[in-house]
Amino acid sequence: MPSSSVDPAELAERIRTAIKNSGLSQREVSKQIGLDETKLSKSLKGVRRLGSDEILQMARVTGVTTNWLLTGGDEGAEMTAPVRVLPPTTPEESEQALRRRRIIEKAWWLFAKRGYAEVRIADIAREARVSSSAVHYYFATKRAIFSETLRYSVKIAFDRQIAMLYTIEDHADRLRELCRLQLPIDDERRAAWSIWMQTWADVATVDDGRKNHAEGYQRWHQMVRAIIVEGQDAGAFRDVDPDELTRDLTALIDGYGIKVMTGLTTADRMLRHIDAYITTAIVADEPPE
């Protein structure tokens, strides 16, 4: 995970590269992230610092990851498709990447809101403002598109985590914020939970997409484990098997997330129980001086 000491000049240079090769103009990028173009220009000149949410939106719109923007690399980038670590380098690649991203993003929302069975290729094409044949140019089947929407869920979750956590120094606060970011409390996070729940159902019934699911879930597991290990190394967390703590915490989040999505409990109650688990099972009795 990147530290809070990100070099502003290097960040600005990577943002310029991402915009240049995104297939979008700087004005279009500004509009999509909801940032005045003058403010963006100042940020690119190092006069104004971009906020965490602005970095997150920048990654989303330009098709890179927040980790790449902040560090210039992205370990485990195989699960951040439909993007790659480095932006496209030619106008043709940029346009192809932009169109493919748009198809996946629109399909993601449709699958999340309607369910896989109720979405047709024609629906995806209409939302993405392309022809059905254009959708088939990038994806052979609807199932192939759905597989990419899971990868997209992994990307946006990881982008959000990196953007919101990299400035938090306290280990317990960082872990609690990571858990808070998983709460299904807005349209985007509920959509991500919907995609995951549909994927779990597929894996449980027809063994479809098990490899894709395992890879995506492993990245989430690694993020939780990394924060726990960092806290243990600093003496802030209990000296307990980090894999055991990670399994218990992620299982708690998964179970409560499903209950929130199905109306059996509330996000507030979910957060209280997760916070109580972190306090009693993970945080050390005597924090380091």
**Tokens representing 133?**
């044949």
**164-to-180, 182, 257, 259 alpha-carbon distances in Å:** 11, 12, 20, 25
pTM of the model: 0.82
237 DSSP β-pair partners: 283
Residues ≥6 apart with Cβ < 8 Å to 289: none
Q: Is 283 helix (H, G, I), strand (E, B) or coil?
A: strand
- Helix orientation angle between 142-165 and 171-180, rounded to the nearest 10 degrees: 150
pLDDT tens digit sequence for 141-168? 999 999 999 989 998 998 999 889 988 9
| Banded model confidence at residue 72, pLDDT cuts 50, 70, 90 | confident
% of the chain at pLDDT higher than 70: 89
Q: Which of 19-33, 198-212, 213-227 has the lowest mean pLDDT?
A: 198-212
Q: Is 208 helix (H, G, I), strand (E, B) or coil?
A: coil
pLDDT at position 29 over 80: yes
Average pLDDT, the chain: 87
Place of tokens 């439909």: 82
DSSP string computed for 241-269:
-HHHHHHHHHHHHHHHHHHHHTTSS-HHH
Which phi and psi angles does 265 have, rounded to 5°?
Answer: -155, -175
Which phi and psi angles does 171 have, rounded to 5°?
Answer: -65, -45
pLDDT at position 286 over 80: no
Sign of torsion, CA 280 282 283 289?
positive
Say if residues 172 and 165 touch (Cβ distance below 8 Å): no
Q: Where are the domains of the chain?
A: 168-289
SS (H, E, C) 111-135: HHHHCHHHCCHHHHHHHHCCCHHHH
Superfamily of domain 168-289: Tetracycline Repressor, domain 2 (1.10.357.10)
Residue 217: per-residue pLDDT? 87
pLDDT tens digit sequence for 240-278? 999 999 999 999 999 999 999 999 999 999 999 999 999
- DSSP structural state of residue 7: -
206 DSSP β-pair partners: none
